[in-house]
Amino acid sequence: MAETPLTPEDAEARPSWVGDDDRLEVVVVGAGQAGLAIGFLLARHGRRFIILEAADMVGAAWRDRWDSLALFTPRRYDALPGVDFPGDPDGYPTRDEVVSYLKAYAETNKLPVVLNSAVRSLTQIDDGFQLECSSGRSVTADQVVVATGPFQLPFTPALAGELGPEVFQMHSTKYRQPRDVPAGTVLVVGGGNTGFQIATELTATHAVHLSVGSRQTPLPQKIRHRDLFWWLTKTRLLTMTVDSRLGRRLSERETLIGSSPRQLRRLGVDLHPRAVSASNNTVNFADGTQLRVDAVVWATGYQPDYSWIDAPVLDAGGRVRQHRGVSDLPGLYFLGLYWQHTRGSALLGWVKEDAEYIATQVQTLVGSRRLPPDAANRERSDAGESQGEPDHVEPQ
């Protein structure tokens, strides 16, 4: 008989439910869209698990975006497993709608989320993993899903330190609305969707410049009266894997949706190439031009932070070694990464595809560990004989 997952009510009733005497089958790190999606599936499989969240709410990464943010995917494509996204299916949800949806999703499905529980360390032990939390709790589990997503540490380039104190600076994670930026000339640095959207909003109140350091592929929000994502779904471009030839090419390019350099120029934005250096209130660009600025908004993205993982799963650049979210260590998985498997891997409505794959891997490992050692050996032996080849492990 499958075990019933712990609910938040169980957590309140049993304050010692995570500890040496109460080992869990699975711990999920992060209660954003990826963590909630895998939580739903683990519950459906009857797994005994918890979701540890560093912030004081689920979906905190969405709360920390600017006020006017709206998704470029219609609501019909924004659902997590089991619960439709409410509202006009052809409309585009706002930031606050996403936050409300994720909160309701966790509550409706009674997912065992533990807030204010940042994981300080994850260590491999003989028969699983041990996690040390900011609350002082120590949690042990057979398997762990790291669902902290692509938005971890805001990245600001070194040249920010070359600007004088008279220049106002903020990362896009701190930007909420135009009045947050002092009057005058503002430079937005970053050529992704965030940089273009913030630059567009600022044109109503500021003299705006945008520095673009990489090549983008602009795509219209609608083509022939249908949303772009209708076409991407029909053509299966969103399910193109990163291992395919086209997938590798697409993963190396920034895609702009509903924005373009031409549109920004029409709004009065001056575009510049990569910012390469600065001095006092002057920024120098790769083409030799300069600009005096009063403020800079760094829409320069994020960088991963897995310094808390004490296990051999990172490459020399600090990136996770994984295939479809499965790491080199049995029982340790990653979910919600950019281009983890497809273009949709880090998108709200498509993370469920990777979550279903990881949930299946978790279930398979649970089943294999329940077999007695001699039965497991017989099963592997039979499988090898039936295939007429020696035992081997498929690359993950």
- For residues 12 and 101, state if they share a domain: yes
SS (H, E, C) the chain: CCCCCCCHHHHHHCCCCCECCECEEEEEECCCHHHHHHHHHHHHCCCCEEEECCCCCCCHHHHCCCCCCECCCCHHHCCECCECCCCCCCCCCEHHHHHHHHHHHHHHCCCCEECCCCEEEEEEECCEEEEEECCCCEEEEEEEEECCCCCCEECCCHHHHHECCCCEEEECCCCCCHHHCCCCEEEEECCCHHHHHHHHHHCCCCEEEEECCCCEEEECCEECCEEHHHHHHHCCHHHCECCCHHHHHHHCCEEEECCCHHHHHHCCCEEECCEEEEEECEEEECCCCEEECCEEEECCCEECCCCCEECCCECCCCCECEECCEECCCCEEECCCCCCCEHHHHCCCCHHHHHHHHHHHHHHHHHHHHCCHHHHHHHHHHHHHHHCCCCCCCCC
Last residue of a domain, one of 280, 301, 322: 301
Q: Does a structural domain hold residue 273? A: yes
What was the pLDDT predicted at 60?
94
Q: Does a structural domain hold residue 326? A: yes
- For residues 165 and 280, state if they share a domain: yes
Q: Does a structural domain hold residue 77? A: yes
Reported as a single tens digit per residue, the pLDDT across 79-106 is 999 999 999 999 999 999 999 999 999 9
Q: Does a structural domain hold residue 32? A: yes
Q: Is the pLDDT of residue 13 over 90?
A: no
Average pLDDT of the residues in 22-27: 91
Average pLDDT of the residues in 108-126: 96
Q: Is the pLDDT of residue 36 over 60?
A: yes
- For residues 219 and 334, state if they share a domain: no
Last residue of a domain, one of 301, 333, 354: 301
What was the pLDDT predicted at 165?
97
Q: Does a structural domain hold residue 91? A: yes
What was the pLDDT predicted at 384?
36
- For residues 137 and 92, state if they share a domain: yes
Q: Does a structural domain hold residue 369? A: yes
Domain span at 69: 8-152+304-378
- For residues 290 and 348, state if they share a domain: no
What was the pLDDT predicted at 280?
96
- For residues 237 and 366, state if they share a domain: no
CATH code for the domain of 189: 3.50.50.60
The total number of structural domains that make up the chain: 2
- For residues 311 and 297, state if they share a domain: no
What was the pLDDT predicted at 382?
40
- For residues 107 and 42, state if they share a domain: yes
Last residue of a domain, one of 266, 301, 336: 301
Reported as a single tens digit per residue, the pLDDT across 300-359 is 999 889 999 999 998 888 888 999 999 999 999 999 998 899 988 989 999 999 999 999
Q: Does a structural domain hold residue 389? A: no
Average pLDDT of the residues in 274-280: 97
Q: Is the pLDDT of residue 66 over 50?
A: yes
What is the percentage of the chain residues whose pLDDT exceeds 70?
87
- For residues 189 and 277, state if they share a domain: yes
What was the pLDDT predicted at 373?
45
Q: Does a structural domain hold residue 3? A: no
- For residues 208 and 326, state if they share a domain: no
- For residues 66 and 162, state if they share a domain: no
Give 248's pLDDT tier (boundaries 50, 70, 90): confident
Give 389's pLDDT tier (boundaries 50, 70, 90): very low
Residue, of 2 and 88, whose pLDDT is higher: 88
- For residues 147 and 179, state if they share a domain: no
What was the pLDDT predicted at 22?
67
